[in-house]
Structure 1
Amino acid sequence: MKSIKLKLIFNFSILIVLSTVTIGVAATVIASNSLTKEAKSALTTMANQGATVTESRMNTQKRTLETLVQLEEIQSMDMEIQKPILQNQLEASGFTDIGVMNMNGKVFYSNGLMLQLSENDPARKALEGKEDAFNFAFNEQSRKVDLMYAAPILKDGKVLGALVGRRDGNSLSEITDDMGYGKKGTTFIINSSGTVIASRDRELVLSQYNPIKGVEKDPGLTSEANLYKKILEQKSGILEFSSGKVREFFGFTPIPGTEWIIIFTASEDEVLASIPVLRNTSISIVAIILLISVILAYIIGNSIANPIVKAVKHVKEMADLDITRDIHKNQLKRKDEIGDLSRALQNIIDNLRMIIKEVRESSEQVAAASEELTATSEQSSTAVEEVTKTVAEIANGAMEQALNTEEGAKKADLLGESIHSNLTYVNELNQASDQVSHAVSEGLEEIENLFRKTEENNKANKQIYDVILKTNDSSLKIGEASDVINSIAEQTNLLSLNAAIEAARAGDAGKGFAVVAEEIRKLAEQSATSSKIIGEMVAELCGNSENAVQTMERVSVLVNEQTQSVIHSKDKYMLIDEASGKVSETADRLSVSGEEMDKMKNEILFTMQNLTAIAQANSASTEETSAAMEEQAASIEEIADASDGLAGLAQNLYTVISRFKI
């Protein structure tokens, strides 16, 4: 049974059936015991009442004799006198015959019959003055029973004889005929030896039925003989007797004034006759209760199962990523476990909606940040390309500067030769002076060109320096964007963790969302990893930018020094030009000037060497700057790729979140 409703109906029905059957069985057992106890009590009461009634009727008959013995005619002990009296009283007394018994035990009846009583005949007790003298006699020849009463005839306290009244023995059975328990119950009287002397079944009386004696011939009477023995031993009480499938109760008590015992029987079937009715009634009640319980179980099952079915429907909708519907207000207002479940599901729905909105906003922010990062990377790439071009121009200028410096060194060598020639060939001074003047003019032009190139180089270095600073600022912005992405990834991870916790609280109902929460957590971790890689690249880019800035600062210093050297060279050339103009005028001072010019030549050579070293350093710096720019370009490309990947992750995250219906 997969339905909770059916389980409730089945379990309630089983419980009710077991309870009612148990109660019915217990009631039946209790009722059976009560009826049995009541029957035993009733048998005891009836036995006592039967004994009393029997005694009363026997006493009534005895009182007739006791009245007659008070007559003087009876006390005369003269049969001739007694006989008319007895005959007159015979019809009124109800006796079949009345006689007088002498002291020898002979009874002379009014009809002329004479009967000798045996020594053990109970009727002879009257000769002893006892009032309980009576006997139940069976005539085997006539198969009749007689009930004999005897009353002592006293005169002056002396027993003269006894008046004997004989009645039909069936009169005793007629007393028991009016008694009995129910319809099947019997009543009978047994004497002191266990012989039946009164019963509805006259055959038992006529056959002198006595199982105690009959067991000798019929062993099948053993159990009944034992019963009669117990009755004779106990005199009064209740006994149970089973014969085959029949079970009977025997209630018995002695009849006062006799040695007889009156016995009442009751069949267990009759005693417990109301039990089947009770059982049938119980079955009917069980059926009615079962029907009512099934209806109640159905109603209760509906009240329990329907909210659960609705909750399961909500959970299935949540598993299908549909959280547009709220739990019904009636379910939320319940104070039981169903209400707790409904409120928990509503909390999950509310939390999911909040989480999905936050994750959706975060994914949009991540996508926007990744787009900004991509744009920044493109700008940085463009700036790096411009810096690379500028560095290439600086490298070309440095190479040209090196060539010019070498050429200046050669010119300085020529100047030295000219100075030596001037010293050697004074006569050719004017010619040499013209050559020097011409060379100085060319040197000034070269210096002027070098000065312009130096200024251009200085401007280019300034541009490179500004571009590198902008690149460094862009790298810092990229780092800030990476930090924002990392923060968003951490928040996304926390949100996915909260979603997983809420899904775990929902148990099996939240398993579907737990999978989605796990995917969100993985995307958040990938975002964090990508952000970390971007951060490392940005840090490396910042480091390279700082190195480039430091290098450009050194290049700027060198360029300034180069500019000063060019200015100084220009001044020297001006001095040379000025000196060559005065050559003709200062011919006599030519030797001194020659020495000074030789010194100047050495200084120029030294300066040219410095310029050569500076040019080489500028060339090396530009190469380093170019390499740094290439590394920076590669880093920016990696950042751009990572930004594209981050944008893809953000798009995937947005796609996953978009599957939810809120």
Structure 2
Amino acid sequence: MFTIKKKIIFSNLGVVIAASALIAIPVIRMQTSSIEESVTSNAHAQGAQATAKINSFLLKPMTIVNDMAVFVASHEIEKEETQDAFDDAIKGDSALYSLYFSDTVPMKDGGIMYSNDKWEPGEDYDKSSREWYQKGIRTLTPAVTEPYVDADTRQPVTTIARAVQKKGANYGVVAIDILLGDLTDLISETRLSKSGESFILDANGNYLTNSDSSKILVANFYNDFPGMAAYKNEISGDKAFVNLYAGGGKYFLAQKISDATGWTFVSIGPSNELTAQLRGSVTLILILLAVVLGVSVLAAIGVSLPIIKPIHTVDVAVNEIASGNADLTRRIKISTKDEIGSLVGGFNKFVEKLQDIVSQIKTTRDELGYAENDLQDSVSDVSSAIDQIITNISSVDDQMSAQANAVSQTSAAVAEIAENINSLERMIENQSRGVTQASTAVEEMIGNISSVNGSVARMASTFDQLSQNAETGVEQQKKVEEQIISVSEQSKALQDANKAIEDVASQTNLLAMNAAIEAAHAGEAGKGFAVVADEIRKLSETSAAQSKKISAELTKISSTIATVVESSKLSSVSFRQVNEQIISTDQLVRQIRAAMEEQQVGSQQIVDSLKVMNDGTSEVRVAGHEMAEGNQLILDEIHNLQESTGVIKESVSEMSAGAEEIRKTGNKLSEISNMMKKSVLAIGKEIDLFNS
């Protein structure tokens, strides 16, 4: 039993809990928000610091690349001078592995490549296939390549490269290789918690730094921490991405270092290390809340005892009255003047009023007993009369049902006859339309046959003309072929003549050389002759050169003429085949014309037969229509009879339903009478328990 004492205690406890919650929840939220904002702000600062360190690490090699590009562009570079300048530029920095320049000329064609370590590639070295060359040649600002493991040092390396221009055109590429091993030490202390870890990732998420060197450029961060892959699209270079509850009990910090590198700084660790201060604050608040609840319970007990004692006295008195023989003459005595005393006084007045009501009910019970006996007799008489009426109505309903079934069967038979007549009429109508359509189609076919006959006649005439043209074409093709063969033979004669010219030029050149020798022997007297000999030599050389060109052109002409001769032969064969096909087609056209003339005669006979059939179908359609109209009149009369029978049957059904309702009402009235009798007896038994 949930007593008043317990209610007072729990009510007080509920008020205290609600008040404590209203105070504690906002405090916990404020504390949580403040601590999370502090941790997030620290994370942003750590991300910015790490990014600044990495960019600072890359700034020096980028500056060196820009300076050396200016040096190469402004000097007529020499190998040793350039190598010394490169060596001085990276001296003293162990992270700067190699500085070099390569021009745009392939090594096999005399290209150059100078480096601080004086490495010289072989002629088979294809610099244009290297990523540093491909990225650098396209930009005048430093570009960063994808990191790779150097074959000599076995350390991760990346290359920064840019193009060098002279007079507005690309001259070559300056590049510097950077060892990335120092980056691990550079960011190892940049972390948010004691056991947290920080890494630099390449554009694909592979490790560039890791305390486990076996994972560098081999393992993928998002495979080791698959829950973090969901945040890849939220990482940018503008601001660090921070999630203190990234899943799996981890926090996650990430910031893109720069678009030029595509690298990302990430830091990950246990979330509970960041929220330790928050847990301490919440624990303290919960302890204070428990102390307040304990004090509230003790206070509630102390307040409830003076109130519960008098209420207990009233409870005992009421139970004594209730546990007796319902003696309404008994009264509760209590001397208190407070609200409880007023409650007891009201209860005594209620018992006194109840005593008067019970006395009146006893008198009324006896009167109801006499009335109930009279009602039972009347209900019995009404029930007998109603049974007789229901029997008569049921007999009439059976007769009307038999008549309705007969009318329905007649109506169904007439309807079936009507449907058969309608079906016959539709069939006749369809036949009439079919005959009409067939007649029209045959007439149209006759017209088409006439048209086809005209077309076939014109085709026969055309094929005769085509055959004559084809024969003429064959004859013309033969003449062309003979002329082409003649041109081919003339071309061979020209080649022989050109060969003779070439031989004359060769002999002339030899003669000019001999004349020049003799002129030289003659000394001053032979100078004029030497000039003439030199001009003759030049003329012979020009003649020889022109002869070679003419020979080449004649060779091409001969080749072309040979091709034309072959094509001409193929054309002659095609003309003959076309002529044969035209003759064959002309014979088929003449056969088609004869067949179409026979079909035209047969189609005219079909049209005459269809006209006779159409006339007979029209007479049958008129007779069927008259039969359908007579049948419809019969069907309408049967439908009217069916409706009348239905109305009578519905009226009888309504009478039967009404009589059934009256019977049910009589039965219910009898049941109510019996229930009333039982209720009067039960009320009398209960009223007799009261001592009034």
Note whether the superposition's TM-score is higher than 0.5: no
> TM-score per shorter chain, which class?
0.3 to 0.5
Q: TM-score, normalised by structure 1?
A: 0.40
